[in-house]
Structure 1
Amino acid sequence: MLLYNVTLILEDSVAEEWLQWMQDIHIPQVMGTGMFASHRLLKVLDSPNEGVTYCAQYVADNLALYNEYQEKYAPALQAELNERYKNRFVAYRTLMEFVG
């Protein structure tokens, strides 16, 4: 199993609106692709960065599903995020494997 983690550092001025958008629109769209088994959304409490930091995490059963998501769905979903919150956030994406 794999964990796809998206860490976003948002400007304070858009953090509340972004959180609502994530919960109401973006996460349901990502989960609606059928590529992930589960998800969670976390707020980083001890971030050294200015602004508000969140981690959106999605669990994929295997690399094939993750790769399919990246090829078929991620570009459009990321474009929507970039368009909606242009220049108001920084995102870091990592793929991790469960080992224990």
Structure 2
Amino acid sequence: MYLYNVSIIIEDSVHQEIVQWTKDLLNENPDYSIKLLKMMHSPHEGQTYCLQTVVNSEEEIERVKDGIIQKLQEYITLHHVEKAFLFDSIMQYIPHN
């Protein structure tokens, strides 16, 4: 299993608009089972949010990238250039017992 995380660092001046747009996107695509989180005590300026989902394969991660993350990146590029940016990470669960 994998945890796919996309962090979004957003300037204070536009964070509410981007967060609302992201919520709307997630509500329009409920099949993806993505959680939206706000990072508390972020080391970055502005606001940091994360989109997270747990999947069984790297192919499912690609489906999330193509179906959701690409749309979010396009929205930010068109409407909030240099006001927000994304970076992602993939973590694999390791059994410990």
Q: TM-score, normalising length from structure 2? A: 0.77
Cα distance in 1, alignment partners of residues 4 and 69 from structure 2: 15
1:37-79 Cα deviation digits (max 9, x unpaired): x221111111111101111112222122223444x44674122
Q: Which runs of 5+ in 1 are unaligned?
A: none
Cα distance in 1, alignment partners of residues 43 and 56 from structure 2: 32
Query: Which residue number in structure 2 is paired with residue 89 of structure 1?
Result: 84
Higher mean C-alpha deviation, range 61-70 or range 73-82: 73-82
Q: How does 1:31-46 map to 2 (within 5 A)?
A: 31=29, 34=31, 36=32, 38-46=33-41
Q: Residues 67 and 17 of structure 1: is their aligned pair in 2 closer, same or farther, counting only changes over 3 Å?
A: closer
Query: Which residue number in structure 2 is paired with residue 6 of structure 1?
Result: 6
Query: Which residue number in structure 1 is paired with residue 61 of structure 2?
Result: 66
The alignment partner of 2:86 has SS state of: strand
Compute the RMSD of aligned alpha carbons: 2.2
Q: TM-score, normalising length from structure 1? A: 0.75
Task: Determine whether 1:22 maps to 2:22.
Answer: yes
Query: Which residue number in structure 1 is paired with residue 74 of structure 2?
Result: 79
Task: Determine whether 1:53 maps to 2:56.
Answer: no
Shift of 1:11: 0.5
Give the counterpart letter for 2:59 in structure 1. A
1:15-37 Cα deviation digits (max 9, x unpaired): 11111111112x245x45x5x4x
Cα distance in 1, alignment partners of residues 69 and 5 from structure 2: 16
